[in-house]
Structures are given as structure tokens and as C-alpha cells.
């Protein structure tokens, strides 16, 4: 049964976290500071008031535009805020306490990584490495695998894709797989144990193939230089892949 009070608190916490994370997603790849200075409109530079910073509500009230200059607010703000609110509500609603907080944190980080890789083919070490560390610490209160399975999972996940990247480079003479993908898979191994990795990889590969087929169906050009955001696929299927592995292995 879901706890409605915990779910509401998780949703509010998620919306607040999403407001910061959306700003991070937009500014970080541009080299802009996220922590320093007050929030301001990207169009006119007006410093935003508290009324302008209420997650989701402010943008809806202003019809998605700055009330000073009329510049369109990037819809990513509302989407990330809503996504984090849903993740927080589900995590805390079904598992109030430390376990739910761990699930929420995992979900929020995976959402950020999925969007960054989708937009920029970038999985920063500043997110993947702490995610792996949390899998070996906070993750102990969230998922069932013992520490040894997590350590093996972290090493196996990283080394598996690292070997694939090196083999591709030797065979083709160019980069075909970013090491950020390897670090992300290693982080997922730290959370879910090595047993979940084959299922996560299979589901991520299937999702990537489906994305390619969908692009071809829309008339998109696909060739050997086409890039697929594997990190996005890994982040999207991570929790479903862990759940499927648990169902099949147990």
C-alpha cells in the first residue's frame, strides 16, 4: 500500500530537486555556474523572485514565458520537475524512510544522466562516480545484493564496456563507445549486483535498436556514423532490468 502523506512529501521534495537539476542540465554543458549567483531569466537577466521559482506552478501561471521580456521558458524545466516529483512520490510512497529516500536519489540521478546523454552524449564523472559510491553505501539499505555481488557488479560492468570500447577502437580505428557508458554500467552494478547486468544490457540494447528503427520509420538517415545515447538507454531500463533479473533469477 502506498502511504499518501509520504508520497506527497516525496513529490514536493522531487519537484524542488527537479528545479535545481533542470538548471544543472541546462547550464552545466555550457560551462555556466549552477551554484553561484541568483536565478535569473536567460533572456533579460531579471533576477527571479520566489513567486517565479515555484516548481511547475510558476511556469504554468506565466504560460511558459518570462513575465518581463516574454522569452519562452525552456520546457525542460517543467518536464524534469514533473519527472522528479513522480519519482519522489513513488519512492517515498511505497517505501517511506531511508529506503525510499535512496530510491528517490537513484531515480533523480538516473533522470539527469539520461537527459544529459540524450542531449549531449555526455555522462560526467561527477555524477557516475558518486552514483557508484552510493550503490556501495546507501544502496545497502535499498536493494538486496550483498556487498561482494555489488563490488563484482561494479568491476564487471565497467570492464565489460571498457573492453568493448577498446576492441571497437582497435577494429575500426575510431571511438565507438564512451567510457561514461562503462562507468554508468559499473555504477548500476554497484547498486544492483552483477546478476542484473546482463538483463540491463539486453534491455538497453533493445531500446537503442527500437530508437534506430523508429528514426528509420520517420525517414531519418542511419549510417555508420549515427550515434546512439547508450547511457540514456541504460538509465531508462536500469530499474526495470533489475526487477526482471530478480524475477527470473529467484
Sign of CA dihedral 78, 22, 99, 189: positive
Provide the Cα torsion 105, 108, 112, 114; round to 10°.
110
Provide φ and ψ at 72, rounded to 5°: -65, 130
User: What residue spans define the domains of the chain?
Assistant: 1-96, 122-250
pTM of the model: 0.92
**DSSP, residue by residue, 137-168:** TGGGGTS---HHHHHHHHHHHHHHHHHHHHHH
| Distance (Å, whole) CA 86 – CA 158 | 30
pLDDT values of the chain reduced to their tens digit, one per residue, 250 residues: 889 999 999 999 999 999 999 999 999 998 877 766 666 666 665 666 555 566 767 777 776 676 766 677 788 999 999 999 999 999 999 999 999 999 999 999 999 999 999 999 999 999 999 999 999 999 999 999 999 999 999 999 999 999 999 998 898 888 888 899 999 999 999 999 999 999 999 999 999 999 988 888 888 777 777 889 999 999 999 999 999 888 876 5
| Distance (Å, whole) CA 198 – CA 168 | 20
Amino acid at each position: 500500500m502506498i502511504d499518501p502523506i509520504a508520497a506527497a512529501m516525496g513529490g514536493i521534495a522531487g519537484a524542488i530537486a527537479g528545479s535545481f537539476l533542470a538548471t544543472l542540465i541546462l547550464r552545466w554543458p555550457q560551462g555556466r555556474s549552477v551554484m553561484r549567483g541568483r536565478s535569473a531569466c536567460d533572456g533579460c537577466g531579471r533576477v527571479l523572485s520566489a513567486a517565479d521559482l515555484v516548481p511547475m506552478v510558476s511556469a504554468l501561471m506565466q504560460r511558459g514565458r518570462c513575465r518581463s521580456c516574454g522569452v519562452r521558458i525552456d520546457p525542460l524545466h517543467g518536464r524534469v520537475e514533473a519527472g522528479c516529483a513522480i519519482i519522489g512520490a513513488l519512492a517515498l510512497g511505497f517505501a517511506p524512510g531511508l529506503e525510499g529516500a535512496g530510491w528517490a536519489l537513484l531515480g533523480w540521478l538516473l533522470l539527469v544522466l539520461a537527459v544529459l546523454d540524450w542531449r549531449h552524449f555526455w555522462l560526467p564523472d561527477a555524477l557516475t562516480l558518486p552514483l557508484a559510491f552510493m550503490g556501495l553505501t546507501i544502496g545497502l539499505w535499498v536493494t538486496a545484493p550483498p556487498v561482494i555481488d555489488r563490488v563484482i557488479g561494479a568491476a564487471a560492468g565497467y570492464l565489460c564496456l571498457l573492453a568493448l570500447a577498446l576492441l571497437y577502437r582497435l577494429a575500426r580505428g575510431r571511438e565507438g563507445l564512451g567510457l561514461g557508458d562503462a562507468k554508468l554500467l559499473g555504477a548500476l552494478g554497484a547498486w544492483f549486483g552483477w546478476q542484473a547486468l546482463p538483463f540491463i544490457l539486453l534491455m538497453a540494447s533493445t531500446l537503442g535498436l527500437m530508437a534506430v528503427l523508429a528514426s528509420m520509420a520517420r525517414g531519418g538517415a542511419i549510417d555508420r556514423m549515427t550515434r546512439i545515447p547508450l547511457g540514456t538507454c541504460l538509465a531508462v531500463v536500469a530499474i526495470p532490468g533489475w526487477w526482471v533479473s530478480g524475477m527470473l533469477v529467484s
